[in-house]
A = this chain, B = another copy of it.
Amino acid sequence: MINQLDNTEDKVLHAARIVFQKKGYSGARMEEIANTAGVNKALLNYYYRSKEKLFRQVFEEAFSEFIPTVINILNGDLPLDMKIYRTVDVYTRMLLKNKDLPMFVLNEIRENPNKIEELLMTKKHLTFQKLEQQLYEEYEKGTIVETTVHTFLINLLSLIVYPYIVQPMMSRMFDIDDKKFEELMLERKNALPAMIIETFRPKN
């Protein structure tokens, strides 16, 4: 139940975020969203016309939170190590508030890529020229190995995001509750920038 919000439209949207992000599009039920929002089932259709339309609103919002953050930082003017630091900081903060977000976004793309095609297309052929140049400059200075933007993005994001992806499994296997998990992630946040840059350390 969500009672802090005043108007029904917002209550529904907020409940939809929770339910869709936990269950995915096909696993979510309109009735569960209605119950979570504490409103009548029929009102979801009154405000959003269909499950599909309600979902799109939730998904597009989530997608643009998951992706553009990092793009803006990495395409900016900071030195490389500061970009890493900033990405770790911004992402960790966002993910701790929204642990299911990566799984939600990535799973919907896997499950129904065509439905989301247009959204992905707006990001297609993304270039990271500034970043690419920085990686090359650091390589010439001898501070990192020769690498690609792809490899850099994957190492950076995997070390930041993966814990939130496996959290539902890990927390059960190792008895880590939500509070404990947050503590671990805050500790990890401090260690992460060094770990990330080390993955590009030159041999000897």
Is A173 in contact with B126, judged by CB distance below 8 angstroms?
yes
Query: In this complex, what residue of B is CB-closest to A100?
Result: B110
A117, A126, A166, A196: most-surrounded residue (chain B CB, <10 A): A166
Is B157 in contact with A159, judged by CB distance below 8 angstroms?
no
Counting CB contacts under 8 A, is A47 at the interface?
A: no
Which range holds the interface residue count of chain A? 35 or more
User: Which one of A20-28, A53-61, A82-90, A134-142 is at the interface?
Assistant: A20-28
Is B26 in contact with A23, judged by CB distance below 8 angstroms?
yes
Contact A165-B168, Cβ < 8 Å, known A151-B188, A159-B158: no
Please list 8 pairs of residues, one from A and one from B, whose beta carbons are closer than 8 Å in the complex, sorted by A's number: A22-B110, A26-B27, A27-B27, A100-B110, A110-B168, A154-B188, A158-B159, A198-B198
